[in-house]
Each structure stands twice: as C-alpha cells, then as structure tokens.
C-alpha cells in the first residue's frame, strides 16, 4: 500500500460519521485459518453447496467437515487486523462490522458491534429441541445425536439451502444504509445476498464511499473510491499510522 492510499483511507475514516466494515474469509486466512473458495481451500475440487447444504445435516460427510472447521477455528486466533478493528471501534472510528465469517474472531478480538450473518462456531444447537451443546460433541465425542430428543446437533451457521437469520439480516441492511463509508476486507463479494449490502450502502441516503482491500477481483471494484490488492493486516497497520 502506498503512503498516499494509507493517508486517504485514514482521512476517510476520520471524516466519516458512520463507518461500517465488511469482512470475509481473507481477514482470517492471515491467522492461518483455511478459507473456503481459493485454490487449496476447503472447497477446492468440491462443491460447497453439496457438502454444507441443510440436507446434509446428520451425515458423516457434514459432521467430518464441520469437525475440521471447529478444530481449525480453535487452533488459530484473531490477528492484528481483527485487533485493530476492535481498537478503531473503541475510538469511535468504526460503528459496526458485518461479516460472512463463522470463526468468531472479531468478537474474540474485542469488537462489540458485530453481525455474524452466516452464524458462528461458538457452540452447537439441536435442530429439534434447540438445546445448546459444547463444540466438543463434534470434535471429541464425534456425535450429533441430541440427548433430549430425536433431533440432530449442528453448528449455528447458515447452510446452503437456508435463509439468513431474519433479524440479523434486517439489522445489517439498516447498518449498510446508515453508512457513509464502507471498508471491505477479504471478501470477493460473490455471495448473495451478503454482497447486496454494498448496494444498500452505495445507493443509500448517505451514498457511502466504498474502499475494497482484497486480493481477488470483486463485482464492485468499479464503484470503489479506493481499491487495493494488499494483504489486510499490512494495509490496516499502514492506515493506523495516520490515525494515531
């Protein structure tokens, strides 16, 4: 990232009245967490809409896949980018974070206003009676049978074939519409309806400025005020030098 770009992003943050951060897998891969879609990622050579589909709950393939996800999320930790965003929130520079990620790293790093729109891996829930379970039921016991009913225990994530949680999604839309600045970090913005949040912000009453920092191309590159293909941690650290 050039000094000029760093200064410009810092200036946008300082001048913004309502800055919203939008994050995807790219911010967590810098913690060492495998992503879904890139070459060599968890989906490489496989069809995610089949492995992580609601119809697969209760199958060995589904349980094995999410056991790996749970183990990976526990093995790795939030990185400097997560911590910087939490610090910016405390300083009033960032108002909310809207994330596709299910690893929970934003909250673990100290961010308070986080909408985990695709769910989280902090605990499991029976899809029958709603009883919550520790993740060890998958990772240690290798079981998804509920102890109270005939339901199946599963992670609290939105699967293919399911709608996003209504209340969280409605809140996310409101956050996007209030934004006058959106900084996109580590998502290719390919997944609908999550990517429509950019439209809500850009076309909203505050006509949000869009900053995109991700290595892959996105469908929204053309409307970005600043477009960078840098590593996220390095980019945020460079911006932070002009915020202190």
Mean pLDDT of 158-166: 91
Rounded average pLDDT over 27-39: 76
Question: For every residue of 184-239, which 3-state class applies, written as one string?
Answer: EECCCCCCCCCCHHHHHHHCCCCCCEEEEECCCCCCCHHHCCEEECCCHHHHHHHH
For residue 202, pLDDT beyond 80? yes
Q: What is the pLDDT of residues 186-200, one digit of tens each?
A: 999 998 899 999 999
Residues known to be catalytic = 118
Confidence of residue 46 (pLDDT cuts 50, 70, 90): low
d(CA 103, CA 83): 15
Residues in the chain: 244
Half-sphere exposure of 23 (CA within 13 A, CB side): 29
Q: Which pLDDT belongs to residue 155?
A: 96
**pLDDT higher than threshold 60 for residue 35:** yes
Confidence band, pLDDT 50/70/90 cuts, at residue 47: low
Domains within the chain, CATH numbers bracketed? 1-33+77-118+164-244 (3.40.50.1220), 40-75+119-157 (3.30.1600.10)
Rounded to an integer, the average pLDDT of 165-183 is 96
Q: Has this prediction a pTM greater than 0.85?
A: yes
- State the pLDDT confidence band at 39, using cuts at 50, 70 and 90: very low
Residue 24 near residue 101 (C-beta atoms within 8 A): yes
């Amino acid at each position: 990232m050039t000094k000029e770009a760093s200064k410009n992003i810092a200036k946008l943050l300082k001048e913004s009245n309502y800055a919203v951060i939008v994050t995807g897998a790219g911010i967590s891969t810098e913690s060492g967490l495998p992503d879904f879609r890139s070459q060599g990622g968890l989906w490489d050579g496989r069809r995610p809409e089949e492995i992580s589909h609601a119809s697969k709950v209760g199958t060995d393939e589904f349980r094995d896949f999410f056991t790996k996800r749970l183990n990976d999320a526990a093995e790795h930790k939030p990185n400097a980018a997560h911590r910087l965003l939490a610090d910016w929130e405390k300083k009033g520079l960032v108002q909310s974070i809207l994330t596709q990620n299910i690893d929970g790293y934003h909250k673990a790093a100290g961010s308070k206003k986080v909408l985990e729109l695709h769910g989280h891996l902090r605990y499991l829930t029976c899809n029958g009676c709603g009883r919550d379970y520790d993740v060890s039921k998958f990772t240690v016991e290798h079981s998804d049978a509920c102890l109270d009913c005939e339901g199946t225990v599963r992670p609290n994530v939105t699967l293919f074939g399911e709608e996003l949680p209504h209340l969280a999604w409605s809140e996310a839309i409101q956050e996007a519409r209030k934004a006058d600045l959106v900084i996109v970090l580590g998502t290719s913005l390919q997944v609908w309806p999550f990517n429509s949040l950019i439209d809500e912000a850009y076309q909203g009453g505050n006509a949000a400025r869009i900053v995109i920092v991700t290595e892959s191309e996105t469908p929204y590159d053309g409307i970005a005020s600043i477009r960078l293909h840098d590593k996220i941690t390095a980019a945020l650290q460079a911006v932070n030098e002009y915020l202190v």
